[in-house]
């Protein structure tokens, strides 16, 4: 047993609800608290002195100065395995070029596919681990990572194998997702339906055999895959035993409805979701994931997180870190900014980056500091947890613990 403390404040998030709005007075704060850890799991959280007296044999790690502790953050949507960068896309967009013009001049997702295909495995692994390290330094302890820049058997498997290899070299908990249905690659002979069939018959069985991912994602959008063909594809992936997540309603509404209909774990983006579909999402168990990093990267509107929460949805917040639409990668900054524009309470933002995001990844033992959950938590040198969002990402995490081990 190990006892860590005393913390000026421990914000456990233990009593907060899975869905809907939360007011800040629902946040339970333990003052002068300690976290008692047994075998990587939280044994107890409570008053430090009482825990110390009750557990005289526990190894005690004393925390110096004023610090607060929060559950480790969960980034439930990233594309951080990629080659090259798209700084030129960013500059061209800001200079007024359209998506089509950028794609035609060699940018867009296809350009990242070419860079990723051409990159060596060593290079991809190295940059992936660097990005993971950056996320850990923010206090993020669980990271979802998508494929989707390979877009053929060889390169999709290459990406997923690299993500698996990264897992053996980082304490962060990685959750891989197969996004072969990101876009039909330019060199594929056949239409969208043939490509989706190719994923089902050539890619997914191998992903299963090698246990490379348990989740499948698709980008449903005018420029990518159409609603009907996507729905058929998703139902088949479900039959193969995969969990489903969807890039939905980013520019055009309609696909979050499909996500709900097929029982997706999450529908992500939702910048263009119409009111009727907000209600539909809110009545489902499909997590509505806001991706403010994409809104900031593209200069587009934010996901209507306030409306979704008021309607009763399960709202998560993720970074979408990718080379195209969301190059920043700082989830804390992005979530803080989303809060100011969407008028989200601190409780709603913290829930969205912790247990609600974990729910989207089917991880029930992560995201709250309570007995039985993983001892994944982040500390900040401050006497008030509100400072984390108030500083909009510029208050650095002090320490990061995963499975009870100090890793940052
Ligand atoms: O989530 N919308 C589609 N996919 C990514 C962007 C990927 C890219 O531009 O490389 C997203 O925003
Ligand atoms: Fe994305």
Mutate to test the pocket of ligand 1, among 324, 327, 329 (most ligand atoms within 8 A of CB): 324
Contact (CB, 8 A) for 10 and 43: no
- What is the predicted pLDDT for the residue at 300? 95
- Check pLDDT > 90 for residue 219: yes
What mean pLDDT comes out for the span 15-38?
A: 98
Structure tokens at 207: 């992903």
**How many whole angstroms separate alpha carbon 357 and alpha carbon 363?**
9
Query: Per the omega criterion (within 30 degrees of 0), is the bond before 6 cis?
Result: yes
Residue 325 CA to ligand 1 center (angstroms) comes to 6
- What is the predicted pLDDT for the residue at 100? 82
Residue 295 CA to ligand 2 center (angstroms) comes to 11
Residue with tokens 């070419």: 114
Average pLDDT of the chain is: 98
Q: Whose CA is nearest to atom 9 of ligand 1?
A: 324
**How many whole angstroms separate alpha carbon 282 and alpha carbon 39?**
37
- For 350-379, the pLDDT digits (tens) are 999 999 999 999 999 999 999 999 999 999
Residue 324 CA to ligand 1 center (angstroms) comes to 6
Domains (ranges, CATH) in the chain? Answer: 2-71+368-406 (2.30.40.10), 74-360 (3.20.20.140)
Q: Whose CA is nearest to atom 12 of ligand 1?
A: 325
- Check pLDDT > 90 for residue 290: yes
Residues in the ligand 1 pocket, defined by CB under 6 Å = 79, 109, 112, 219, 247, 250, 294, 320, 322-326
Mutate to test the pocket of ligand 1, among 182, 248, 289, 303 (most ligand atoms within 8 A of CB): 182
CA torsion sign for 185, 186, 192, 197 is negative
Mutate to test the pocket of ligand 1, among 89, 109, 302 (most ligand atoms within 8 A of CB): 109
When pLDDT is cut at 50, 70 and 90, the band that residue 140 belongs to is very high
Q: Whose CA is nearest to atom 7 of ligand 1?
A: 324
What mean pLDDT comes out for the span 194-206?
A: 98
| Main-chain phi, psi angles of 364, to 5 degrees | -85, -15
The DSSP-derived string for 366-394 is SSS-STTSB--EEEESSS-THHHHHTTT-
Percent of the chain at pLDDT exceeding 90: 98
Q: Whose CA is nearest to atom 5 of ligand 1?
A: 325
Strands annotated E in 48-172: 59-62, 68-71, 73-75, 140-146
Ligand at shortest distance from the CA of 84: 1
- For 71-121, the pLDDT digits (tens) are 999 999 999 999 999 999 999 999 999 988 998 889 999 999 999 999 999
- For 32-46, the pLDDT digits (tens) are 999 999 999 999 999
Ligand at shortest distance from the CA of 145: 2
What mean pLDDT comes out for the span 150-171?
A: 98
When pLDDT is cut at 50, 70 and 90, the band that residue 269 belongs to is very high
The DSSP H or E segment spanning 316 is strand 315-317
- What is the predicted pLDDT for the residue at 323? 98
**How many whole angstroms separate alpha carbon 377 and alpha carbon 71?**
4
- What is the predicted pLDDT for the residue at 161? 98
**How many whole angstroms separate alpha carbon 318 and alpha carbon 80?**
13
Identify which of 305, 310, 307, 299 has the alpha carbon closest to the alpha carbon of residue 352: 305
- Check pLDDT > 90 for residue 309: yes
- What is the predicted pLDDT for the residue at 103? 87
């Amino acid at each position: 047993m190990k006892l860590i403390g005393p913390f000026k404040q421990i914000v456990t998030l233990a009593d907060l609800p899975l869905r809907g709005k939360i007011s800040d007075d629902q946040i339970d704060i333990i003052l002068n608290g300690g976290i008692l850890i047994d075998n990587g799991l939280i044994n107890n959280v409570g008053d430090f002195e009482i825990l110390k007296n009750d557990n005289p044999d526990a190894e005690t790690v004393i925390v110096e100065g004023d610090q607060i502790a929060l559950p480790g953050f969960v980034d439930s949507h990233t594309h951080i395995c990629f080659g090259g960068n798209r700084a030129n896309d960013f500059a061209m967009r800001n200079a007024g070029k359209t998506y089509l013009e950028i794609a035609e001049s060699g940018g867009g997702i296809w350009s990242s596919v070419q860079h990723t295909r051409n990159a060596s495995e060593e290079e991809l692994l190295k940059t992936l681990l660097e990005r993971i390290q950056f996320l850990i330094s923010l206090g993020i302890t669980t990271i979802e990572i998508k494929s989707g820049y390979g877009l053929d058997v060889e390169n999709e498997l290459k990406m997923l194998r690299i993500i698996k290899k990264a897992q053996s070299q980082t304490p962060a908990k990685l959750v891989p997702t197969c996004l072969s249905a990101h876009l039909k690659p330019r060199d594929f002979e056949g239409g969208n339906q043939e490509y989706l069939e190719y994923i089902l018959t050539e890619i997914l069985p191998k992903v299963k055999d090698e246990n490379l991912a348990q989740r499948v994602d698709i980008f449903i959008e005018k420029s990518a895959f159409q609603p009907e063909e996507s729905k058929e594809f998703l139902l088949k992936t479900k039959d193969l035993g995969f969990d489903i997540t969807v890039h939905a309603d980013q520019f055009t509404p309609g696909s979050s409805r499909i996500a709900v209909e097929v029982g997706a774990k999450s529908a992500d983006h939702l910048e263009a979701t119409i009111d009727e579909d907000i209600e539909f999402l809110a009545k489902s168990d499909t997590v509505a994931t806001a991706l403010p990093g994409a809104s900031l990267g593209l200069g587009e509107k934010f996901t209507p997180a306030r409306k979704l929460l008021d309607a009763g949805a399960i709202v998560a917040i993720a970074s979408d870190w990718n080379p195209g639409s969301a190059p920043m990668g700082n989830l804390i900054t992005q979530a803080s900014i989303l809060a100011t524009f969407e008028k989200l309470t601190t409780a709603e933002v913290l829930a969205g980056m912790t247990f609600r995001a974990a729910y989207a990844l089917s991880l029930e033992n992560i995201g709250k500091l309570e007995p039985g959950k993983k001892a994944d938590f982040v500390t900040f040198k401050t006497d008030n947890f509100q400072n984390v969002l108030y500083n909009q990402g510029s208050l650095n995490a002090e320490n990061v613990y995963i499975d009870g081990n100090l890793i940052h």
